[in-house]
Amino acid sequence: MRHGVTTALGSAVAIGLLLVPPAQADDGPTARELLEKCDNGTDSCVFHPKGEPEYFQNTSEQVGNPVFNCTDLPQTMSVSWSDTTAESNSLGLSMATSFGEVFKVTFKATYGHEWREEHTEGQTTFIEVKPGEVGRVYHGAMMQKVKGTYELHFQDKFHDHYIWYVDMDATGPADEQGGTVTQSTQPMTDEEREANCG
């Protein structure tokens, strides 16, 4: 069973095309094969968002270089850093494609602002570091997730069906900045002291 791919079965009747509720495709194309056809072999390719974007804080990761206080006095030390977050999706596919453009146009029309493919944030953070300790800075960016389904219509049957559906979750930097910047200090290990205070 292909993950995230469904099809609508069609049968000709006197009044036109009757669509049976979508059924899971067992031997159909992959999500990649379908989305590569989006606006590149389809009559139509539309992304249907589900609900509002979900906002969350990305996992905090260390940014910049650690600072080592090798003196006998407390020191105010600075860490200059930058952190770049980028878009991703549940299918693991590049959004720099026709289906990615369809998503971004629909996102703007639905939610009233541009989808952000990438965002870089940076600053200089000051840390109070005690003698013999190391200081580190961590940053967690604000992100947004959008869930939805692609609906692809083909003029001729594609893998025995005219209509296919592909579910996708997309994650990217949020418009609202407000990620967290945290810091920590702890005693240097023997290896850190030898490498940085020699």
Q: How far apart are CA 86 and CA 80, in angstroms?
A: 21
What is the DSSP code string of 137-170? EEEE-EEEEEEEEEEEEEEEEETTEEEEEEEEEE
Q: How far apart are the first and last CA of the chain?
A: 60
* pLDDT single digits (tens) 57-114: 999 999 999 999 999 999 999 999 999 999 999 999 999 999 999 999 999 999 999 9
Overall size of the chain counted in residues: 198
Confidence of residue 28 (pLDDT cuts 50, 70, 90): confident
Q: What residues form DSSP beta bridges with 168?
A: 148
